[in-house]
């Protein structure tokens, strides 16, 4: 893994020092997002292209994107929704099931636009019913991924009903991740959307190619924000927001300049009525203001100089891709996030709806 560039961080620091109200960085990428399909793409694709250069597109459609043929067709639908003149690129991912074979992995490796395979434990989250029921059955698949250098993205939660929902990530690390790291020490893995101190600590102390993505909601909020004074369904995502101590650990990890932690929004749109519901869906939509939300978290931590590494360099290094050639500029220019956004014939409520944000992307 490429180490943090102290020079780049120092350069960004100088820039902020000179002008505390503006930051220019390499165009960022999103290493974890949900675009959905069909009518939803008219909202989600332009929003992704608004500030990112590339996006790792999650495969949890119904039915899931399980092979290269499905990824090819999905990619075409996504590209058809891309705004004119946009160079934003969707990077595709295959969904692992109990029936994924070593041949599926070889086909993924041979395909120029498939960049990873995603492990969902069956039943863990939205559209995960076709996920894996027994991790140990994937050993041959993991062996092939390790050999070919295909990235394994982990939804790191156990699903046993007797494990408390707030402990599911920590138990996953103890029960499964330790074993997988030992058995496949060269397997390139991303622990997706980490939410706990245990997740951050495990990644920081691991040897070998293990990284983690971190969402804006887990940097900006904790479970009190979701549950005190009334339930706020639009903050419900999986893995669920944890207590304040974990939020603090994630902020430290994201802003530390450690290249194993990088941006992955997990932006996951659901129509308003599916969230404001007796059995509401998990997922926060953040692509209306993704980089601005991260800037808010980094600014509060006094770490704007670390934003470029986290948002624009460390993920590309991990996935062995070049940095984007464009730059983006953020200005300190307070604005209010809209209360609602049109979505697929209905509406959705975006993350931080109605709240003030200090940083704004310059067009
Ligand atoms: O909150 C989440 N929403 N977590 C996931 O893992 C899936 C996602 C979705 O697809 O809505
Ligand atoms: Zn996700």
d(CA 277, CA 271): 11
Nearest atom of ligand 1 to the alpha carbon of 281: 11
8 Å CB contact between 177 and 185: no
Going by alpha carbons, the residue nearest to atom 2 of ligand 1 is 283
Q: What is the pLDDT of residue 74?
A: 98
Rounded to an integer, the average pLDDT of 140-160 is 97
Q: Mean pLDDT, the chain, as a whole number?
A: 94
pLDDT at 9: 53
Assess whether the C-beta atom of 60 lies below 6 angstroms from ligand 1.
yes
- pLDDT at 175 > cutoff 50: yes
Q: Which of 35, 124, 126 to mutate to test the pocket of ligand 1 (most atoms within 8 A of CB)?
A: 126
Quick one: which of 72, 55, 64, 179 has its CA closest to 119?
A: 64
Which one of the ligands is nearest to 239 CA? Answer: 1
Band the pLDDT of 8: cuts 50, 70, 90. low
pLDDT tens for each residue of 206-230: 999 999 999 999 999 999 999 999 9
Checking if the pLDDT of 18 tops 50, the result is no
Q: Rounded to the nearest whole angstrom, what is the distance from the C-alpha of residue 55 to the centroid of ligand 2?
A: 12
pLDDT at 21 over 90: yes
Give the C-alpha separation, 261 to 93, whole Å.
20
Averaged over 340-355, what is the pLDDT? 98
Q: What percent of the chain has pLDDT over 70?
A: 95
**Per-residue pLDDT tens for 41-96?**
999 999 999 999 999 999 999 999 999 999 999 999 999 999 999 999 999 999 99
The secondary structure of residue 357, as a DSSP letter, is E
Q: Using CA atoms, how far apart are residues 51 and 328, in angstroms rounded to an integer?
A: 8
- Please work out whether the CB of residue 282 comes within 6 Å of at least one atom of ligand 1: yes
pLDDT beyond 80 at 156: yes
Catalytic residues: 266
CA distance 12 to 310: 12
Residues 161 and 135: their CA atoms lie apart, in Å, by: 17
Rounded percentage of the chain residues whose pLDDT exceeds 90: 90
User: What whole-number distance in Å separates Cα of residue 142 and Cα of residue 237?
Assistant: 27
pLDDT at residue 13 greater than cutoff 60 = no
- Residue whose CA is closest, atom 10 of ligand 1? 126
In the prediction, which pLDDT does 268 show?
A: 98
Does residue 348 line the site of ligand 1, with CB under 6 A?
no
Question: What per-residue confidence (pLDDT) applies to 128?
Answer: 79
In DSSP terms, 33 is beta-bridged to: 57, 267
């Amino acid at each position: 893994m490429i180490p943090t560039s102290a020079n780049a961080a120092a350069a960004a620091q100088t820039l902020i020092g000179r002008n505390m109200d503006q930051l220019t960085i390499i165009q960022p990428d999103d290493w974890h997002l949900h675009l959905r399909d069909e009518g939803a793409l008219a909202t989600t694709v332009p929003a992704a292209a608004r500030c990112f250069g590339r996006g790792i597109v999650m495969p949890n459609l119904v039915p899931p994107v399980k092979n290269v043929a499905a990824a090819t067709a999905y990619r075409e639908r996504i590209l058809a929704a891309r705004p004119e003149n946009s160079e934003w690129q969707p990077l595709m991912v295959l969904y692992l099931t109990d029936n994924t074979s070593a041949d599926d992995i070889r086909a993924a490796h041979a395909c120029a636009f498939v960049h990873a395979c995603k492990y969902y434990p069956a039943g863990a989250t939205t559209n995960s019913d076709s996920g894996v029921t027994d991790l140990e059955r994937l050993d041959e698949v993991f062996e092939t991924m390790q050999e070919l250098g295909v990235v394994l993205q982990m939804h790191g939660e156990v699903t046993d009903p007797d494990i408390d929902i707030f402990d599911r990530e920590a138990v996953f690390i103890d029960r499964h991740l330790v074993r997988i790291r030992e058995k496949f020490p060269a397997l390139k893995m991303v622990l997706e959307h980490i939410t706990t101190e245990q997740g951050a600590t495990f990644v920081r102390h691991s040897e070998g190619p293990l990284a983690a993505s971190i969402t804006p909601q887990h940097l900006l909020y904790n479970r009190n924000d979701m549950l005190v004074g009334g339930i706020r369904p639009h903050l419900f995502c999986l893995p669920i927001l944890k207590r304040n101590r974990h939020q603090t650990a994630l902020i430290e990890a994201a802003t530390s300049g450690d290249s194993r932690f990088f941006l992955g929004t997990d932006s996951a749109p659901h129509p308003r009525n599916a969230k404001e519901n007796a059995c509401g869906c998990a997922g926060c939509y953040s692509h209306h203001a993704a980089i601005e939300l991260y800037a808010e978290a980094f600014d509060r931590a006094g770490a704007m100089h670390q934003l470029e590494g986290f948002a624009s360099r460390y993920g590309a290094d991990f996935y062995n891709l070049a940095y984007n050639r464009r730059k983006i500029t953020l200005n300190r220019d307070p604005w209010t996030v809209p209360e609602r956004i049109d979505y697929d014939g209905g509406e959705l409520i975006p993350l931080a709806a109605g709240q003030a944000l200090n940083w704004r992307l310059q067009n």
